[in-house]
Amino acid sequence: MIKIFRHSFYWLALLLTTGCATSSVKPPEQPKLSAPEQAPFNLAVNVYSSYISDEVEQQCNEAALTSNPCKNDGIAANDFLKSLEKLDLFAELSPSVSRHDYELLIANQVADMPAGQEPESADVPLQSYTEFAVEWRGVHLDSFLVHYWHYGVIHPQDVEQIILRWSEHANRNHIFSTPFLYQAMGASDYSGALTLPEVLGEFQLARQFLYPDPFKGVLARYLHPSFSEAIMDIAIYPVLAPLTGDTEQLISHELEDAVEQARQITVERAMAMEIKKHQQAFSQGESSLQGVMSEIAAEGESGEALYATIYIFRLEDKFVKFSTTFPSRIGDPLVSEALTQLAVPGESALMKELRKAL
């Protein structure tokens, strides 16, 4: 009897101590963040509800002030979706449907939430742990944890504040930028390891465009100062095949695809296309580099005429594609000049791993 009494007294004292500690806990100050006036992420994203990681689940349970276990989805997935729509952070949201390249995964647990999901007392604060993960076509790019205190109940404004804390992190670290995508995926560093000529004949490098897709690489455009319709593009992108394959076959197939794309354009514009040269070998005089080229002309019923010359080479593990809007007699010397100055990044960690599976 004495042992039972002592045992009961011990647990009573423990409960009283825990209760006092719980009621005396004062949540820290949490600055209120304002919603941005304009959408910080000008892109579409898929939104999914996810599972909390083991590390965060342990962190949540260790931080709990009561004996109630942390509750999965203590904040409903639909509440996050409503707040995302209200805050208008993205150009488009696609809930639970894979329509876009980027995916936002949200997982959360709430500590000290009673079984009935309604707090027994507003004096008992709740703590939520929300994990945000950003992926691109299923490849993980970034994770961020938001720990937030709630005064007894979880209000819609709380959910907005949680999202805004993640949004601030994503915006500050440029999570949805193309350079971040390339770096996070281990793609080639086109900004630091690519060398392009600034001038080719009378053509000048006007701009570079890094595609928001590591498998499409970079495009450099050269313009003529006197003839606005004279354009030369250099596209550099990875070979999506094992490097042990036959290079001549690879570049020939790539050129065939490029000519077919040109054919589709002429069909859409109701123009008659003539292939003047096709799959002709092209060599750069100062090196052993071999490529292939095709020259195309098209004319519409109104008399509109178009020219296109396409050259394909392989450097390192990249295709190098030259596309011009003029005949090969003008393009050939420009391509030869460019090849003497061009240097492309080596095989990236991304493509090295990908080719192991090909």
Q: Read off the pLDDT of residues 281-296 as tens digits, 9 standing for 90 and up.
A: 998 776 678 899 999 9
Q: Read off the pLDDT of residues 339-349 as tens digits, 9 standing for 90 and up.
A: 999 999 999 99
Output the CATH code of domain 186-356.
3.40.1000
Q: Name the pairing type of β-strands 218-223 and 41-49.
A: unpaired
Question: 167 or 9, which is more confident?
Answer: 167
CA torsion sign, 197 to 201 to 206 to 209?
A: negative
Query: Residue 116 has what pLDDT?
Result: 53
Q: Is the pLDDT of residue 14 over 50?
A: no
List the 271-283 sheet strands across, edge first. Answer: 199-200, 203-210, 218-223, 231-238, 318-324, 305-315, 290-300, 271-283
Q: Is the pLDDT of residue 333 over 50?
A: yes
Which residue type sits at 29? E
Domain boundaries, the chain: 20-176, 186-356
Going by pLDDT thresholds of 50, 70 and 90, the confidence category of residue 123 is: low
Diameter of the chain measured on Cα atoms: 109
Query: Residue 113 has what pLDDT?
Result: 75
CA distance 100 to 135: 11
Q: Is the pLDDT of residue 354 over 70?
A: yes
Q: Read off the pLDDT of residues 197-243 as tens digits, 9 standing for 90 and up.
A: 999 999 999 999 999 999 999 999 999 999 999 999 999 999 999 99
Output the CATH code of domain 20-176.
3.30.160
Cα–Cα separations (whole angstroms), residue 293 to 230, 255, 344: 18, 7, 20
Query: Residue 239 has what pLDDT?
Result: 97
Query: Residue 21 has what pLDDT?
Result: 44
Going by pLDDT thresholds of 50, 70 and 90, the confidence category of residue 121 is: low
Angle CA 269–275–278, to nearest 5: 135
Yes or no: say if 190 and 322 are a contact pair by the CB < 8 Å rule.
no
